[in-house]
């Protein structure tokens, strides 16, 4: 019997294995339970079995963007507001993965370790989320984009509050179109282009080339470039809209001369161009709270001279993420180091406790402060001498436009990125219009103008 | 208001369960006999007293013997001295010199009475009673052991609380929904009265624990379908009947030994019948339909497997090799492979490892068996792609939320949704997922009744295995020790496969959670397994002997 008793110790191994497994399950339960619970298929969050409704989302002025009524998610009563806020708020099904409803599911659903998604009182346990965004401004941006696809964002670079973020095409989250997956008009409707997409930048990239020139060409302001409408590099012809004649650097940027900037990029050299782009945030993801943006791309490793030239004017393989440029505008306006945008003003639990307050955080430096100051001057000159201050009356806007050619028979990406240098209206913006049929000032510029005027007015 | 009251009741339930379970297990510990010698052997030549501690004692020169004799003429394992219903016996286990009682050679087994002289080689031992007569060594000392009535009463109260959950699951009271649970309570009291009052049993802890778990299972099933809950109740009643029959059957070790081969043959015939008659259901071929009822023979064969595998100490010492049992196990495992029931094959394998190791103590056998198993698993993955698919999705379930990881992610998601105390019986969403009340029962418990209760349930199963181990030297025979350890091992291993399979810690294999999952044959089978645990408790047969 003694021997049998000793051999029975084999049971300990099995039981030890059991407790090890239970321990690892409980550890995951405690650390990942929130993520497990808030899956879109979970019947306790959505669907008729929802045991407790999720919290509300408000804009900065207290406008209800979405709330739970009778076990369903109900969006703002105004169609245009619903569509304009779609990509920020997100859809009910959770297809828009950058939406607040997706990323703050556990706060909205009221998940906690102790009661899970269950509400012992029967009332919603979900927290309410107040956003920094202004739904009116978003509605305006959507209205100005009209039927065109594109993106627009605007933030206060002194406080970090994101005021406007719009992406088109959109759809009505109260009744998603049935043909959303098949109709080409809805292509990209689940993407928030501000955050998740990258586009050929065209001339807005010249800000990077300019920064590289400022730091690497000592006599930049005394130099001139002969812009006769085109230049042939390596047998490849790089053209301008018109022959401008002899231009100083400032004039070259204002006219956005490809002839000048392709030569400048070649003169600075591939490795210094890449260094500058990398410093200015290319190849990096930026965060908006817990949401990560797509990374902009600039890569001229082992390229020919003409390719380097094209890259310097925002063509070749260059890609820019709108949110990245918004942050970059904030950096230039702020002397090199941006205040990172945020969109969650606060989160309040059903018992009225504010569980989270959004605050601006200082991002890493994107540009040397002396370079930022000179770039700001040049960008101010762009508006005052080229685009016209009438677009932004009294706002002292510094900006750069761009026209990224995408080929394939499509119109260009028209961009404008900039900021107001007026202390009273510290707003930075980025506007993109895809497949544009008119120039960047008349497309993106007009939208930027409306947004900046509205933001400054309110 | 109702929601809040039900929630408070759900907080009370798990903590009451923990209290009852703790009381049961401490009571079983306290109910044990003290470790005093039960009888003495006196070495006639040296006048040395050798205390005898167990029901079955190996005698020999080997240091691992229970009674070690330092005599070169004694074989390493010479004989076994054992206590049976009718008194003490000595059995010669193929010794060289043979064993004599009062000068007469022992053939197989001979009775020994106090004063008799047992001769082995040059050693002579006289059987002597323990000298202090005030201690009856065979009467267990029930120090502070819980009264069976108070345990039953606690479980009754817990089940009333569960019934309240079921009655108010849909808001308006629906007493019909709680009828299966009510009938279960009635059944429990009937068994209680039968065991304690009519059979005069002194212990009721294992039954209490099993009732506790069965009640939780019925609660979950009632929230899905009251009809299924009735079916489950029927299965529990049949299980209890089987349990009592098993306890009776196991009461006589000689009967068990006589029936071993017949049961083995029956088991193989059942497998053969299964393979011939069964139709494929959900990928495996383990069900036979007999009119309106379907049975899963492999569940019952688990019980048979243990009976075939276990043995008394004298037989263990006499027939040392495992060939017969290995052959039998190979047939069982082969049949399960043909049935494509790999989850059950794993359980049989674990039972085989426990029995083989406890019988032979050979680590080599265990390693060899594991090597064969690994090779077998490799072969399966090669030739059965659907099993490989389960392995592929393992630890990647979140990338397969709508196909091969469908069940696991829902178990995780809904378990977390339930929090500590659950969303309430019948209020879960997991019940709509396939096999929710059987393979995913753990997830359903978490969601509807809370993770504290779910963990309590599986920890009770783990403690049953530990209890089986702690009884290993106290039971009346190695037959019971080995059987109880194998049964306890099966219960906890099955719980592991069920819990960890559905939560993506192990690959998902469709096995049931003992006492909780819906399933007729599996419920009967776990009660059968519980009978092995019960029989290893020496108190189980204490009363009957006193009567004699």
pLDDT tens per residue across all 458 residues of chain A:
888 999 999 999 999 999 999 999 999 999 999 889 888 788 887 654 444 567 889 999 999 999 887 667 889 999 999 999 999 999 888 788 899 988 888 888 888 889 888 888 777 778 899 999 999 999 999 999 999 999 999 999 999 999 999 999 999 998 889 998 888 889 889 999 999 999 999 999 999 999 999 999 999 999 999 998 899 998 889 998 889 999 999 999 999 999 999 999 999 999 999 999 999 999 999 999 889 999 999 999 989 999 999 999 999 999 999 999 999 999 999 999 999 999 999 999 887 888 888 888 999 999 999 999 999 999 999 999 999 999 999 999 999 999 999 888 888 999 999 999 999 999 999 999 999 888 888 899 999 999 999 999 86
Q: Could you give the CA distance from residue A66 to residue A173 in angstroms, rounded to a whole number? A: 10
Instruction: Tell me whether B357 touches chain A (CB under 8 Å).
Output: yes
- Examine the pLDDT at B279 and tell me if it is beyond 80: no
Distance from CA of B232 to the nearest CA of A (A): 26
| CB contact (8 A) between residue B423 and residue A51 | yes
**pLDDT score at A451:** 95
Contacts of A312 (CB under 8 A, 6+ apart): A205, A206, A209, A261, A262, A264, A265, A266, A268, A273
Instruction: Tell me whether A94 touches chain B (CB under 8 Å).
Output: no
Q: Could you give the CA distance from residue A10 to residue A416 in angstroms, rounded to a whole number? A: 73
Question: How many residue pairs bridge chain A and chain B with CB atoms within 8 Å of each other?
Answer: 170
| CB contact (8 A) between residue B427 and residue A114 | no
- Is the separation of the CB atoms in B456 and B425 below 8 Å? no
Please report the residues numbered 213 through 232 in chain A whose beta carbons come closer than 8 angstroms to any beta carbon of chain B.
none
Whether the bond into A169 is cis, omega within 30 of 0: yes
What is the DSSP code string of B225-264? -HHHHHHHHHHHHHHHHHHHHHHHHHH-HHHHHHHHHHHH
Comparing CB atoms, the residue among A2, A29, A42 nearest residue B66 is A2
Distance from CA of A105 to the nearest CA of B (A): 13
| CB contact (8 A) between residue B458 and residue A17 | no
| CB contact (8 A) between residue B419 and residue A12 | no
Q: Could you give the CA distance from residue A207 to residue B343 in angstroms, rounded to a whole number? A: 64
| CB contact (8 A) between residue A21 and residue B418 | no
For an interface test with A, the pick among B419, B444, B456, B538 (most A C-beta atoms closer than 10 Å) comes out as B419
Instruction: Tell me whether B350 touches chain A (CB under 8 Å).
Output: yes
| CB contact (8 A) between residue B458 and residue A22 | yes
Q: Could you give the CA distance from residue A253 to residue A261 in angstroms, rounded to a whole number? A: 8
Please tell me which of A51-55, B413-417, B538-542 the model is most confident about, judged by mean pLDDT.
Answer: B413-417
Closest-CA residue of A relative to B402 is A41
Comparing CB atoms, the residue among B350, B422, B465 nearest residue A15 is B465
Closest-CA residue of A relative to B424 is A118
The band of B132, judged by pLDDT with boundaries at 50, 70 and 90, is: low
Closest-CA residue of B relative to A18 is B496
- Examine the pLDDT at B292 and tell me if it is beyond 70: no
Among B68-72, B268-272, B280-284, B509-513, which stretch is predicted with the lowest mean pLDDT? B280-284
Closest CA to A16 of B112, B253, B465: B465
Distance from CA of B461 to the nearest CA of A (A): 10
Contacts of A222 (CB under 8 A, 6+ apart): none
Closest-CA residue of A relative to B481 is A4
Where does A320-363 have alpha helices with state H? 322-333
| CB contact (8 A) between residue B66 and residue A7 | no
Q: Could you give the CA distance from residue B358 to residue B531 in angstroms, rounded to a whole number? A: 19
Residues in chain A with CB shorter than 8 Å from the CB of B401 are 39, 41
Instruction: Count Cβ atoms within 10 A of the Cβ of residue B321 and give its class: 0-12 exposed, 13-18 middle, 19 or more buried.
Output: exposed
Instruction: Tell me whether B449 touches chain A (CB under 8 Å).
Output: no
- Residue tagged 């009632």 (tokens): B222
Q: Could you give the CA distance from residue B197 to residue B70 in angstroms, rounded to a whole number? A: 49
| CB contact (8 A) between residue B423 and residue A11 | no
- Residue tagged 């105004």 (tokens): A78
| CB contact (8 A) between residue B468 and residue A11 | yes
Three-class DSSP category at B88: strand
Residues in chain A with CB shorter than 8 Å from the CB of B427 are 49, 51
Distance from CA of B67 to the nearest CA of A (A): 10
| CB contact (8 A) between residue A17 and residue B496 | yes
Residue range B201-226, pLDDT digits in tens: 888 899 999 999 999 999 999 999 99
| CB contact (8 A) between residue B416 and residue A116 | yes
Comparing CB atoms, the residue among B481, B493, B500 nearest residue A4 is B481
Distance from CA of A113 to the nearest CA of B (A): 6
Comparing CB atoms, the residue among A5, A44, A111 nearest residue B472 is A5
Q: Could you give the CA distance from residue A307 to residue B8 in angstroms, rounded to a whole number? A: 71
Distance from CA of B540 to the nearest CA of A (A): 19
| CB contact (8 A) between residue A11 and residue B465 | yes
Closest CA to A110 of A93, A89, A129, A134: A129
Residues B334-339, mean pLDDT to the nearest whole number: 87
Report which DSSP code applies to A203: G
**pLDDT score at B294:** 77
Distance from CA of B84 to the nearest CA of A (A): 15
| CB contact (8 A) between residue A11 and residue B418 | no
Instruction: Tell me whether A48 touches chain B (CB under 8 Å).
Output: no
Residues in chain B with CB shorter than 8 Å from the CB of A124 are none
| CB contact (8 A) between residue B485 and residue A19 | no
Going from the C-alpha of A172 to that of each of A92, A93, A176, B182, the distances in angstroms are 11, 13, 6, 52
Residues in chain A with CB shorter than 8 Å from the CB of B53 are 1
| pTM greater than 0.80 | no
- Examine the pLDDT at B17 and tell me if it is beyond 60: yes
Instruction: Tell me whether A13 touches chain B (CB under 8 Å).
Output: no
Residues B417-423, mean pLDDT to the nearest whole number: 93
| CB contact (8 A) between residue B423 and residue A44 | yes
Distance from CA of B197 to the nearest CA of A (A): 33
Instruction: Tell me whether A117 touches chain B (CB under 8 Å).
Output: yes
Residue range B139-176, pLDDT digits in tens: 555 555 678 899 999 999 999 999 999 999 887 899 99
Going from the C-alpha of A385 to that of each of A216, A248, A379, A398, B306, the distances in angstroms are 26, 14, 10, 11, 94
Instruction: Tell me whether B298 touches chain A (CB under 8 Å).
Output: no
The band of B258, judged by pLDDT with boundaries at 50, 70 and 90, is: very high
Closest-CA residue of B relative to A118 is B423
């Amino acid at each position: 019997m003694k021997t049998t008793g000793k051999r029975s110790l084999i049971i300990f191994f099995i039981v030890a294995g059991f407790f090890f497994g239970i321990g690892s399950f409980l550890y995951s339960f405690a650390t990942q339970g929130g993520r497990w619970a808030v899956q879109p298929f979970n019947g306790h969050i959505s669907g008729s079995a929802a045991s407790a409704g999720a919290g509300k989302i408000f804009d900065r002025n207290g406008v209800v963007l979405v709330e739970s009524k009778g076990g369903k998610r109900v969006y703002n009563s105004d169609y245009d507001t619903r569509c304009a806020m779609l990509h920020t708020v997100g859809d009910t099904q959770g297809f828009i993965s950058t939406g607040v409803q997706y990323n703050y599911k556990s706060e909205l659903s009221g998940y906690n370790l102790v009661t899970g998604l269950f509400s012992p009182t029967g009332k919603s346990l979900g927290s309410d989320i107040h956003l920094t965004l202004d739904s009116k401004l978003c509605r305006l941006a959507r209205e100005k984009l009209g039927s065109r696809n594109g993106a627009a964002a605007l933030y206060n670079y002194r406080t970090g509050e994101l005021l406007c973020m719009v992406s088109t095409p959109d759809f009505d989250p109260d009744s998603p179109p049935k043909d959303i997956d098949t109709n080409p008009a809805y292509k990209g409707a689940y993407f928030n282009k501000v955050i998740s997409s990258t586009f050929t930048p065209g001339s807005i990239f010249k800000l990077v080339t300019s920064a590289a020139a400022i730091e690497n060409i000592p006599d930049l302001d005394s130099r001139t470039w002969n812009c006769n409408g085109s230049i042939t590099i390596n047998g490849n012809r790089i053209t301008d809209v018109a022959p401008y004649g002899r231009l100083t650097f400032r004039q070259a940027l204002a006219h956005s001369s490809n002839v000048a900037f392709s030569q400048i990029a070649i003169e600075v050299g591939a490795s210094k161009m890449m260094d500058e782009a990398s410093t200015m945030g290319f190849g990096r993801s930026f965060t908006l709270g817990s949401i990560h943006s797509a990374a902009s791309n600039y890569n001229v490793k082992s390229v020919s001279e003409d390719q380097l030239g094209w890259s310097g004017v925002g063509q070749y393989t260059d890609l820019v993420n709108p949110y990245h440029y918004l942050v970059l505008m904030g950096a230039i306006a702020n002397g090199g180091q941006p205040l990172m945008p945020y969109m969650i003003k606060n989160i309040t639990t059903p018992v009225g406790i504010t569980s989270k307050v959004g605050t601006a955080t200082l991002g890493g430096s994107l540009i040397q402060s002396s370079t930022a100051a000179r770039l700001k001057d040049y960008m101010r000159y762009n508006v005052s001498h080229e685009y016209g201050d009438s677009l932004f009356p009294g706002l002292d806007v510094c900006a750069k436009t761009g026209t990224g050619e995408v080929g394939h028979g499509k119109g260009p990406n028209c961009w404008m990125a900039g900021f107001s240098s007026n202390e009273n209206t510290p707003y930075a913006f980025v506007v993109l219009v895809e497949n544009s049929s008119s120039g960047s000032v008349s497309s993106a510029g007009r939208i930027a103008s409306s947004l900046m005027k509205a933001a400054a007015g309110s | 208001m109702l929601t809040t009251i039900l929630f408070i009741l759900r907080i009370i339930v798990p903590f009451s369960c923990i209290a009852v379970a703790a009381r049961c297990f401490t009571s079983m510990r306290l109910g044990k006999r003290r470790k005093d010698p039960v009888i003495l052997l006196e070495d006639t030549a040296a006048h040395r007293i050798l205390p005898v501690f167990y029901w079955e004692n190996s005698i020999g020169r080997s240091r691992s013997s229970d009674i070690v004799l330092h005599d070169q003429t004694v074989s390493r394992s010479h004989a076994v001295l054992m206590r049976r219903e009718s008194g003490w016996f000595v059995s010669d286990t193929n010794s060289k010199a043979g064993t004599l009682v009062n000068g007469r050679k022992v053939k197989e087994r001979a009775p020994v009475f106090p004063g008799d002289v047992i001769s082995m080689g040059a050693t002579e031992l006289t059987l002597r009673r323990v000298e202090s007569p005030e201690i009856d060594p065979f009467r267990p000392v029930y120090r502070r052991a819980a009264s069976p009535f108070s345990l039953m009463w606690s479980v009754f109260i817990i089940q009333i609380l569960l019934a309240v959950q079921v009655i108010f699951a849909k808001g308006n009271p629906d007493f019909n929904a709680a009828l299966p649970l009510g009938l279960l309570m009635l059944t429990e009291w009937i068994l209680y009265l039968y065991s304690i009052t009519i059979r005069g049993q002194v212990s009721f802890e294992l039954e209490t624990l099993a009732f506790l778990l069965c009640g939780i299972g019925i609660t979950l099933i009632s929230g899905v379908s009251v009809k299924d809950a009735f079916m489950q109740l029927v299965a529990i009643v049949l299980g209890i009947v089987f349990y009592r029959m098993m306890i009776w059957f196991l009461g006589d070790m000689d009967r068990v030994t006589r029936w071993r081969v017949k049961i083995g043959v029956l088991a193989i015939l059942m497998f053969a019948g299964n393979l011939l008659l069964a139709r494929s259901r959900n990928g495996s071929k383990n069900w036979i339909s007999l009119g309106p009822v379907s049975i899963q023979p492999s569940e019952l064969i688990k019980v048979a497997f243990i009976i075939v595998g276990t043995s008394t100490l004298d037989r263990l010492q006499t027939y040392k090799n495992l060939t017969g049992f290995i052959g039998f196990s190979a047939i069982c495992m082969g049949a399960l492979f043909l049935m494509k029931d790999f989850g059950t094959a794993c359980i049989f394998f674990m039972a085989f490892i426990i029995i083989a190791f406890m019988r032979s103590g050979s680590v080599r056998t265990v390693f060899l068996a594991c090597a064969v198993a690994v090779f077998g698993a490799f072969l399966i993955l090669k030739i059965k792609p659907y099993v490989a698919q389960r392995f592929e999705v393992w630890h990647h379930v979140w990338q397969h939320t709508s196909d091969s990881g469908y069940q696991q992610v829902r178990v995780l998601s809904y378990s977390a949704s339930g929090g500590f105390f659950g969303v309430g019986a019948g209020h879960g969403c997991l019940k709509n997922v396939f096999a929710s009340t059987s393979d995913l029962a753990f997830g359903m418990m978490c969601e509807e009744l809370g993770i504290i209760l779910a963990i309590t349930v599986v920890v009770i199963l783990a403690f049953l295995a530990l209890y089986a181990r702690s009884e290993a030297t106290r039971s009346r025979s190695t037959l019971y020790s080995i059987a109880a350890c194998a049964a306890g091992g099966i219960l906890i291993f099955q719980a592991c496969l069920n819990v960890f399979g559905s939560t993506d810690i192990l690959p998902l294999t469709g096995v049931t959670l003992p006492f909780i999952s819906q399933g007729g044959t599996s419920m009967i089978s776990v009660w059968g397994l519980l009978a092995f645990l019960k029989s290893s408790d020496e108190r189980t047969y204490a009363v009957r002997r006193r009567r004699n």
